[in-house]
Amino acid sequence: MPLTLLLDLDDTLLDTNLPAFIPAYFQALAKDLAPHIDPGLMMRSLLLGTNLMNQSDDFSRTLSDVFDDAFYSQLGISKAELLPAIEHFYDHVFPNLQRLTAQKLDAKPFVDWALAQGYRIAIATDPLLPRKATHHRLRWAGFDPEQFELVTTFEEFHFSKTHAAYYAEVLGRLGWADEPVLMVGNDLERDILPAKRLGLATFHVDAESASSSEPEADSRGTLPDLRRWLESANPKSLTPNFKSVDSILAVITSTPAVLNGLLSGLDSRQWKHKLSDDAWTLTELLCHLRDTEREIHHMQLNLFAEKEDPFIPRPDTGVWALQRDYLHEDGAAVLKEFNQARLETISMLKSVSAEGWARKARHAIFGPTTFQEIIGFITEHDRLHVQQTWSILRGV
């Protein structure tokens, strides 16, 4: 049962001193772009775009989409016009900021040990910066970005680390494997608490002894403390629990973001690829998700809105693929339709009170149940089909 480690970067694997680094970074960018943009306007536009990325819960737009829309509209210049200068900055100026960071002596030995244990490792850094900037910082920390299974950047991810859905998106992009997971980071507000809301075990990296009390995290200490803790921990104790309301909402919000990321740019052959004669294609899988969302999940939500203690039927969806000729639909169009259907689901869930989540019902298969359990079934269904999507894309 392999462990998945989600490792924060700044001040976890790399000494960054963000209060000094971020202003220096912004000032360097403003200075380098001064021939093209007024520095004051650039700084205001940069801060606006960054704030909007932090706030965004739009699973249909990557954080770079959110940033670009705000940044370039404020500047009154197109991205195409400014992109060569920005690329020059990240290639030639941003690397000079390495002087404001320092390698953590314990980081590389810990990562080397974790990889030797067969752990899967994702760099779960806040995806507010471009890929080039994040890869530079990983190299400053002493790592090759390619040695990690996943590195989160704003070109591909849809939520910042203030959202529990960020952590669900990371796990979805890793294939939603049924295995232990541990989030490791130094920031309670962005690393520990949102991961806990999803239902993950957490380790708070700081200079204090691992024996110090830390009610928010499962344990705390240095990276060597973390290694000793993992060597003695029962992996089953790190198994996520996705049953809470916060967790359910995070998974439901993340699923279209995961699928949008995994399926972006596929050609017609990939949409129609079968792993075996009796397996679904990606197009058929997306049609199943879309129609289940529209005809089952929405029906269940409406039954709760209309009745006390409703009876929840469970239609047979297994015959839909053949009956409805899913194979010949347009996969990319179906993905957009699923996005819209899921947006409607989330809108309905946002109006549910705490008491509403505890409402009772009777399920055709599972018997006595609650609203929370019924909606939890949606997350299990999501995770199953994200696993299938991930496997199809890797041809396994």
DSSP string covering 241-260, please?
A: ---SHHHHHHHHHHHHHHHH
At 396 the pLDDT is 56
- Domain stops at, among 192, 219, 238: 238
Q: Which domain holds residue 233?
A: 4-10+101-238
Reported as a pLDDT band with limits 50, 70 and 90, residue 18 is: confident
Same domain, 62 and 177: no
Same domain, 126 and 196: yes
Same domain, 223 and 304: no
Same domain, 108 and 86: no
Q: In the chain, how many domains are there?
A: 3
pLDDT in tens, 173-186: 999 999 999 999 99
Report the CATH number that the domain containing residue 385 is assigned in CATH.
Answer: 1.20.120.450
Same domain, 268 and 224: no
- Domain stops at, among 40, 72, 100: 100
Handedness of CA 136, 15, 64, 90 (dihedral sign): negative
At 277 the pLDDT is 79
pLDDT in tens, 170-224: 999 999 999 999 999 999 999 999 999 999 999 999 865 544 445 678 899 999 9
Helix (H) and strand (E) counts in the chain: 17, 11
Same domain, 39 and 141: no
Same domain, 254 and 352: yes
Same domain, 182 and 201: yes
What does the alpha-carbon distance between residue 1 and residue 3 come to, in Å, rounded to a whole number?
Answer: 7
Residues 6+ apart with CB under 8 A from 234: none
Same domain, 275 and 370: yes
At 213 the pLDDT is 47
- Domain stops at, among 208, 238, 268: 238
Contact 328, 348 (CB under 8 A): no
Contact 84, 50 (CB under 8 A): no
What does the alpha-carbon distance between residue 219 and residue 216 come to, in Å, rounded to a whole number?
Answer: 9
pLDDT above 60: residue 320? yes
Same domain, 233 and 322: no
Same domain, 385 and 260: yes
CA angle 124, 240, 193 (to 5 degrees): 55
Same domain, 171 and 270: no
